[in-house]
Structure 1
Amino acid sequence: MSSGYHWGAGQSEKVDATVKPAVLSCFGDVALAIGPSFSRYYEYVTNFLLMAVSTAKVEDRRRKETVEALLIALMFIKEDYDKVEYVEQLRESCIEAYTGIVQGMRTSQNELALLASQTPHMLDLVELIATSDSIEDSLVGAASGLVGDLVTSFGVAILPSVDNQHIAALLTRGRRSKTAKTKSLAMWATKEIRKLKAPAS
């Protein structure tokens, strides 16, 4: 499947919404497979990811407004649950894509410099997830893993951006998870942050 198809499918309004999260995840897989060579697609993919994150933010705001209205009216509409599920899928796929891109491109200093320009957007998404009313356990794990990857890639330079109450709360939730993978990722990310915060010996 070509990258052109991925790009077209992601942007087309005619494509079923459920296809778009799957396309996002594929970008991460491609980045992992080709490593630094992914830089030729980097600008297009990251622009698309920003659009996807913006969509998730809008849908989340609409969902909260709708839930408030439903509570007042004591009504239940299946469509709203469908939106919740779609937002979760969209966010998790964005996290997976970012994770694949970070892991694939961090082996080269030039590509690492490219990644640095996107870290604020990645962490904005992580904090959006951390402050959401409800989060799936798998999304907590995926977001924790991305935090860990960013910390190990950028070191002390990124510490001010990850050492905050929202990310701390996310990692705490992950460490308390009963799911082994989520717990492991959160513990690892926490450990890497603590390493950076430890005074130099």
Structure 2
Amino acid sequence: MIAAADLSLKPSESLNTHNWTDRNTNKSYLGLTVHYPEPSSIKSVELECFPLNESHTSDCLCTQLDNLCQEWNILRSSISSVITDNAANIVKAIHDMFGKSLHLPCLAPTIQLIPELAMEKTQMLQEIVDSAALLKLREGPPMLLPEEIETLKEIMHPFKPIEKGTRELYDDDFTYSKSIPIVICLNAALEKKEPIS
């Protein structure tokens, strides 16, 4: 366990903060983790995770984070970056408190935005392809031409590695050290993808 006094001695720290709502209890929480270099590794310490009893506006989050930094003796001058999800309230709180230049969006939610939409659309496209196959068995109005169905299949093809990489990022065992290898593997998988038609 790290003592608050120890953090004031660290020359460079990165903060990671996240606020969320428990779906079962509808209770909101705020968490703060600090990352700092040691001679042979990067240390990560979860400092706090507590319920937010107020509305989680950017002003409230800013106040809570300021209190945490004071409580843990985290000097603003030693903070090299602050990592958050993409929620507007936490982004504004960080911009107001530390400035835009220190804010970094968390890799997982940032990557998640693209495949989330892609997976939704992929599912919709798969349903169209499946429906088109069923319609061939019956008399009915033509919906898609065979070339259009093949195009849809080709569009869906690259999303498989994206979905797998996203699931890996959201795995319970995820650590930030996995993020670069996941991105490299994802890039390699996408470069290998050949058109299927």
Please give the range of the TM-score, normalised by the shorter of the 2 chains: under 0.3
Give the structure with the higher percent strand. 2
Higher relative contact order (CA 8 A, sep 6+): 1
Q: TM-score, normalised by structure 1?
A: 0.27
Give the structure with the higher percent helix. 1
Q: TM-score, normalised by structure 2?
A: 0.27
Greater C-alpha Rg: 2
